Every structure is written in C-alpha cells, then in structure tokens.
Amino acid sequence: GESPTLQSTISRFACRITCQRSQPHTARVYAAGFDSSNNIFLGERAAKWRTADGMMDGLTTNGVLVMHPAHGFTHDSAPGPWREISVCGKVYALRETRSAQQRGKLVENESNVLQDGSLIDLCGATLLWRSPQGLEQAPTLKQL
C-alpha cells in the first residue's frame, strides 16, 4: 500500500516567499507551506474557496499578515494597514478574528509584492523584509 502523507501543524503559520531571478528581482509573499510530498498544504479548518476562474485559493488557519510601510521605509515612515495574503497571493482585509472561516474583503489595489520595511506576521513570529537597496543604506555595526 501507499504510505500516508505526513502532515504538520506548521501550515498554520507557513508562508512562501518567491523572488524573480532577473531584474527587478521582485519578491512576493504567499500563504501556506508544503507537505512532505511537496504539495501546498492547508489544515482542515483553514478557509478555502474556488475562484471565478476555477482555481482553489485559501488562507492559513492563523493567517499570513503583511504590513507595508506608508511612503517607504525611512525615519519618517508610518505604518500601513495590516492585510492578509492568500495561497494565490491575493490581498484581503483582515478577518473578524485571526482564525475565522470567513475571509476579509478583497483589496484589489494592493499586492503581495514585498518592499523595503514590509512586516510579515506569522502569528508569533514577525519577519522584517529588507531590500538590497535598503540594506545598503542601513547603519553599520560600527555606526550603531
């Protein structure tokens, strides 16, 4: 017989980041991770739906939240709104609660493209995305 697929609770917190290999090396964030068979995996209680073009999309159980800084990442930066990213990279307003089954409203004029200073909240771990240009302008250890 076939061996069962091992599944992990990590999918509740997982995200994927892809970067273009050529200029401008755009980085995008997507919800969900992979199981031991290299298939995208969402937990039983994760919100899932079929899109208008017949594709499946969904949200991780606890959500992959992203906040892009308003007006760039400088000493004058202001936080932008928190958004939730789907498996397919669509941007949604936050759900009523973090693990609610009903997704938030689609935000069509925003994208999953990471920019210097974007925060990725994985429900307990927060990642700060830095661009190569942003890192070039960051203070050195000696300056700090």
Nearest CA among 72, 79, 84, 71 for reference residue 121: 84
Task: Quote the CA–CA distance of 119 and 29 in Å, as a whole number.
Answer: 11
What pLDDT does residue 38 have? Answer: 75
Provide the H-helix boundaries in the chain. 132-136
pLDDT at 2 over 70: no
Q: What confidence tens digit (pLDDT) does each residue in 116-142 have?
A: 999 999 988 999 999 988 998 887 788
Using the 8-state DSSP alphabet, how is residue 23 labeled?
Answer: T
Q: What confidence tens digit (pLDDT) does each residue in 33-53 have?
A: 777 777 777 877 788 899 899
Find out whether 77 and 93 touch, Cβ atoms under 8 Å.
no
Find out whether 110 and 89 touch, Cβ atoms under 8 Å.
no
Using the 8-state DSSP alphabet, how is residue 136 labeled?
Answer: H
Task: Quote the CA–CA distance of 61 and 48 in Å, as a whole number.
Answer: 10
Which one is predicted more confidently, 16 or 140?
A: 16
Nearest CA among 76, 75, 103 for reference residue 91: 103
Task: Quote the CA–CA distance of 99 and 11 in Å, as a whole number.
Answer: 13
Which amino acid type is present at position 123? C
